[in-house]
């Protein structure tokens, strides 16, 4: 049983109270370590350290801050194998597929932030008053509270941390308690790079205490969070007028039109359903296929589903890991039971795996209804609900029953239809003829203002903008104004 520490003001430390909790391996359902259980006092210590470091860090030249992000990226690359190991242990990610993939991706946003910040220009603005000269530029917000989830703990922190510090902010970071060991491994890399003390502080503990304190405390000046719409609503109620950047849940509809090639696309759609055991906000959680090709597509999906194998994440033959915790296991079961009670049919899967840990079988459902939970909520599990349609109105009836709108996908060979669907779908991203998981770290990613999938955009310059205040300076080159 390893014992872990949090990181405040450049020092590794226990919780002030001395309390700990068990870190659970979800592939076994057994503890692998002891985590510090921080509280409000620990959060306040971190906030104090971040504010103490703020002035000197914001005065550090941008090129030096950029170079620091590059050093962190290099160290992350040098410790890829360690990162993959902890992702496999703490999250149950298959070591030779998913864990390695995420470990390889961990350094990418640090490099993007380092490069894009150097070319993140302000502007000069013309004025009606001929005696004025106006320019705008970007300044740091101050101390940013960052709250990250458990599903991609090595990757998602990179969507916030490097963009915050390269713009001159300091950070108080709290990860999901079930992904804290990975956060510690990332923090070790940051410490090794020589980041000045207090610039990033890692506080581990329950969201109701640590996260809440970071949100409400007047010593933090902006909040970035990836998580659920429910948590976002709580933060919104608690944060006052602080700027907020939220990347929230999805229930991505996939629309497959009659001219698509069902056998060709089934593997892509199945991957969008079962990658990371369906625990991705961009997962394909609702699949609508035209009647004309429904039969061969469903048959192909069943065949593809049977290729996904849950089991020991260290085994090379394992392609799917467990759910993160029992609450997710129970939610998936509740969604499947509800769908069946409302008329859906299970074609494959539908049960937990008969082994230790928090595993669900990859599952294919057909004929789910608009009021089914799989249609109205994010399942966050390895479930592929499929419904055939004859008229487009049937699809819209189902899509509009869900308040989420993060990512969608359309499969068709007709360019006119592709554009029409892409423009009408109320999602932040629509991918044409590929899986819903496509994204690169410089691209904007987030939900639409009419749904519950987020606020603002992460990705490249969009995150840099959130991490900055836009400052306007007016020079008067004539006589001072008077009435």
* pLDDT tens readout for residues 287-324: 999 999 999 999 999 999 999 999 999 999 999 999 99
The backbone torsions φ and ψ at residue 380, rounded to the nearest 5 degrees and listed phi first, read 60, 45
- Of 281, 285, 377, 378, which one is the catalytic site residue? 281
pLDDT tens digits, 6-31: 999 999 999 999 999 999 999 999 99
Distances, alpha carbon 117 to alpha carbons 30, 69, 162, in Å:
43, 11, 10
Q: Which distant-in-sequence residues (6+ apart) come within 8 Å of 462 by Cβ? A: 444, 456
Distances, alpha carbon 214 to alpha carbons 47, 55, 210, 401, 464, in Å:
7, 19, 6, 34, 21
Question: So what's the pLDDT on residue 416?
Answer: 98
Question: Across residues 120-127, what is the average pLDDT?
Answer: 94
Query: Is residue 281 flagged as an active site residue?
Result: yes
What is the pTM (predicted TM-score) of this model?
0.97
pLDDT band at 450 (very low <50, low <70, confident <90, very high): confident
In the chain, what percentage of residues exceed pLDDT 90? 99
**Helix or strand or coil: residue 369?**
coil
**Helix or strand or coil: residue 159?**
helix
**Alpha helices of 79-127 — where are they, by DSSP H?**
80-91, 100-105, 108-117
- Of 247, 304, 377, 378, which one is the catalytic site residue? 247
Question: So what's the pLDDT on residue 449?
Answer: 87
Query: Is residue 306 flagged as an active site residue?
Result: no
Question: Across residues 387-395, what is the average pLDDT?
Answer: 97
Question: So what's the pLDDT on residue 170?
Answer: 99
Question: Across residues 89-102, what is the average pLDDT?
Answer: 97
pLDDT at 64 over 90: yes
Closest Cα partner for 424 from 255, 198, 258, 184?
A: 255
Closest Cα partner for 377 from 274, 450, 283, 457?
A: 283
**CATH 3.40.605.10 occupies which residues in the chain?**
2-248+453-471
Look at the block and give the residue holding tokens 């499947």. Answer: 336
Superfamily (CATH) of domain 252-432: Aldehyde Dehydrogenase; Chain A, domain 2 (3.40.309.10)
Q: Classify domain 2-248+453-471 by CATH architecture.
A: 3-Layer(aba) Sandwich (3.40)
**CATH 3.40.309.10 occupies which residues in the chain?**
252-432
Q: What is the largest CA-CA distance in the chain?
A: 83
- Mean pLDDT of all residues in the chain? 97
Full strand arrangement of the beta sheet holding 132-140: 123-125, 132-140, 468-476
pLDDT band at 204 (very low <50, low <70, confident <90, very high): very high
Question: So what's the pLDDT on residue 136?
Answer: 97
- How far apart, in whole angstroms, are the C-alpha atoms of residue 365 and residue 358? 21
Q: Report strand pairing: 11-13 vs 6-8.
A: antiparallel
pLDDT at 1 over 90: no
């Amino acid at each position: 049983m390893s014992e872990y520490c949090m990181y405040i003001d450049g020092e590794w430390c226990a919780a002030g109270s001395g309390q700990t909790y068990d870190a659970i391996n979800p592939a076994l359902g057994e503890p692998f370590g002891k985590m510090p259980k921080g509280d409000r006092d620990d959060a306040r210590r971190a906030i104090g350290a971040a504010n103490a470091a703020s002035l000197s860090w914001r005065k550090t030249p941008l090129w030096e801050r950029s170079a620091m992000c590059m050093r962190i990226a290099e160290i992350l690359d040098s410790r890829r194998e360690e990162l993959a190991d902890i992702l496999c242990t703490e999250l149950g990610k298959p070591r030779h597929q998913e864990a390695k993939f995420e470990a390889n991706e961990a350094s990418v946003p640090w490099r993007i932030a380092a490069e894009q910040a150097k070319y993140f220009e302000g502007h000069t603005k013309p004025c009606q008053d001929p005696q004025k000269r106006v320019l705008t530029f970007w300044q740091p917000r101050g101390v940013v509270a960052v709250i990250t989830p458990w599903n991609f703990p090595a990757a998602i922190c990179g969507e916030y941390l490097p963009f915050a510090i390269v713009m001159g902010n300091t950070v108080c970071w709290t990860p999901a308690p079930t992904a804290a060991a990975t956060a510690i491994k990332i923090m070790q890399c940051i410490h090794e790079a020589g980041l000045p003390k207090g610039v990033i502080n890692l506080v581990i503990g329950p969201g109701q205490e640590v996260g809440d304190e970071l949100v409400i405390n007047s010593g933090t000046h902006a909040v970035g969070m990836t998580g659920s719409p429910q948590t976002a609503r709580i933060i919104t109620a608690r944060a006052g007028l602080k700027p907020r950047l939220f990347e929230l849940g999805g229930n991505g509809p996939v629309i497959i039109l009659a001219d698509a090639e069902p056998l060709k696309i089934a593997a892509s759609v199945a991957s969008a359903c079962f990658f990371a055991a369906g625990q991705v906000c961009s997962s394909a959680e609702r699949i609508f296929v035209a009647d004309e090709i429904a039969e061969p597509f469903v048959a192909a999906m069943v065949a593809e589903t049977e290729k996904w194998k849950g089991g020991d994440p260290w085994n090379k033959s394992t392609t799917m890991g467990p759910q993160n915790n029992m609450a997710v296991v129970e939610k998936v079961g509740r969604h499947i039971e509800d769908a069946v009670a409302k008329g859906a049919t299970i074609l494959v899967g539908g049960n937990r795996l008969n082994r230790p840990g928090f595993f669900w079988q990859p599952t294919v459902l057909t004929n789910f209804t608009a009021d089914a939970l799989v249609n109205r909520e994010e399942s966050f599990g390895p479930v592929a609900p499929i419904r055939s349609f004859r008229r487009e109105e049937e699809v819209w009836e189902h899509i509009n029953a869900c308040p989420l709108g993060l990512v969608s996908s359309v499969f068709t060979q007709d360019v006119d239809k592709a554009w029409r669907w892409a423009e009408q779908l109320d999602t932040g991203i629509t991918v044409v003829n590929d899986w819903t998981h496509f994204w690169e770290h410089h691209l904007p990613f987030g939900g639409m203002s009419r749904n519950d999938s987020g606020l603002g955009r992460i990705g490249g310059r969009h995150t840099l903008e959130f991490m900055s205040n836009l400052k306007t300076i007016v020079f008067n080159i004539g006589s001072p104004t008077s009435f």
